Every structure is written in structure tokens, then in C-alpha cells.
């Protein structure tokens, strides 16, 4: 018989077998973390959480699933912020979350000298940038929305580049 660790579990930490025995007795938690190395048990756990969270609702409308290594932060955040549609609850599943959380999406910040790296990249591209037909001024105080408006304003000066759709 395997020994259990002497570490006491919190009220919210349960083994899959405990969860399966008691499912349906409580309201679902806002977040579940399923961890382990057995793909069969992980899928069984996801199925149990799915059943408990969305019940008979159409999974196509109530569930969003992402694979950690390929998932984009913006897509996952959008799914988390999306309200349920034709269901009481919404479920967002992120498989291999460690891969997602440990992504280095800002590689320049992970170099010993980010400013130096950016300067090298700029210096290597300045000749190409000089050939640009369109120039959009950027200012530090611009929000993303302001910058988008500036890009659109400049693109509209060139009907051969941007065609207005009506």
C-alpha cells in the first residue's frame, strides 16, 4: 500500500477519486487545477469538471479549450472574459498550462541587454526602414487606440494600399 504524504491538503485540494465521489454536492469552484502525468486520468478529471460546470449545455457554446504551447494570451483572456451564452456557466480549459505560463513572449526582455539588442536590430534594419513609402509618427503618449488611428489615417492617403469597404 502506498503511503500518503504527511502534508495536509487544503479544503479545496482533492484527489480525483474524492472529487468523483462528491461531485454534484457543491457549487463548482471558479478555478480547477488538474495536475498529473497520466493523460487518461487528466482527461477523466476534465470530463468530470466539464459535466459539473456546464451540465447539459452545448459544449460548443459553453466551453473554450486551448493547448498551452500554442495558446495565445489574448485568446485565453478573451475566453475568460466572455460571458456564458445559452448556458448558466462557461468553462475555459487550458491544457499544459505550465507551458503557457512559462512562455517567453517578450524575448527582448530575456536578453542580458534588452536596449542593446533592440539597438542592434534597429541598426540592422534602418536601411530597409528608409525605403518605406509611408511613415507613421509614433509618440510615447499614444495609446494603442491613438496609434491605430494614426496608422489608418496614413493608410487612407494611399488608395492603392488601403481600399475603403462600404
Residue spans of the domains in the chain: they are: 16-101, 107-155
Which pLDDT value is given to residue 74? 81
Mean of pLDDT values over 33-38: 81
Residue 17 has pLDDT above 80, yes or no: no
Cell numbers of 97, please? 498550462
> What is the Cα Rg of the chain in Å?
24
- Compute CA 165 distance to the chain's CA centroid, rounded to the nearest angstrom: 31
pLDDT in tens, 107-157: 666 778 888 888 888 889 888 888 888 889 888 888 888 888 999 899 888
- CA nearest to 90, candidates 35, 13, 30: 30
Cell numbers of 9, please? 491538503
Measured CA to CA, the distance from residue 134 to residue 34 in angstroms comes to 50
Instruction: For domain 16-101, give the CATH superfamily.
Output: P-loop containing nucleotide triphosphate hydrolases (3.40.50.300)
pTM over the 0.75 mark: no
Measured CA to CA, the distance from residue 113 to residue 47 in angstroms comes to 46
- The pLDDT mean for the chain works out to 80
Which pLDDT value is given to residue 1? 41
- Please report which confidence band the pLDDT of residue 72 belongs to, taking 50, 70 and 90 as the band edges: confident
Q: How far is CA 135 from CA 153, 156, 157, in A?
A: 11, 12, 11
64 strand-pairing partners: 92
pLDDT in tens, 46-69: 888 888 888 888 888 889 988 877
Which pLDDT value is given to residue 3? 44
Mean of pLDDT values over 75-91: 85
Residue 25 has pLDDT above 70, yes or no: no
Measured CA to CA, the distance from residue 26 to residue 87 in angstroms comes to 18
Mean of pLDDT values over 34-41: 84
Amino acid at each position: 500500500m502506498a503511503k500518503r504524504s504527511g502534508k495536509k491538503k487544503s479544503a479545496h485540494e482533492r484527489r480525483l477519486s474524492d472529487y468523483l465521489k462528491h461531485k454534484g454536492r457543491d457549487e463548482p469552484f471558479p478555478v480547477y487545477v488538474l495536475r498529473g502525468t497520466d493523460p487518461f486520468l487528466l482527461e477523466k478529471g476534465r470530463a468530470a469538471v466539464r459535466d459539473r460546470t456546464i451540465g447539459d449545455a452545448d459544449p460548443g457554446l459553453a466551453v473554450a479549450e486551448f493547448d498551452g504551447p500554442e495558446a495565445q494570451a489574448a485568446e485565453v483572456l478573451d475566453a475568460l472574459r466572455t460571458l456564458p451564452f445559452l448556458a448558466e456557466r462557461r468553462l475555459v480549459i487550458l491544457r499544459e498550462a505550465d507551458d503557457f505560463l512559462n512562455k517567453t513572449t517578450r524575448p527582448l526582455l530575456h536578453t542580458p541587454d534588452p536596449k542593446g539588442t533592440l539597438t542592434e536590430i534597429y541598426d540592422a534594419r534602418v536601411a530597409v526602414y528608409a525605403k518605406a513609402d509611408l511613415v507613421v509618427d509614433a509618440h510615447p503618449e499614444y495609446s494603442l487606440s491613438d496609434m491605430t488611428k494614426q496608422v489608418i489615417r496614413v493608410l487612407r492617403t494611399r488608395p492603392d494600399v488601403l481600399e475603403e469597404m462600404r
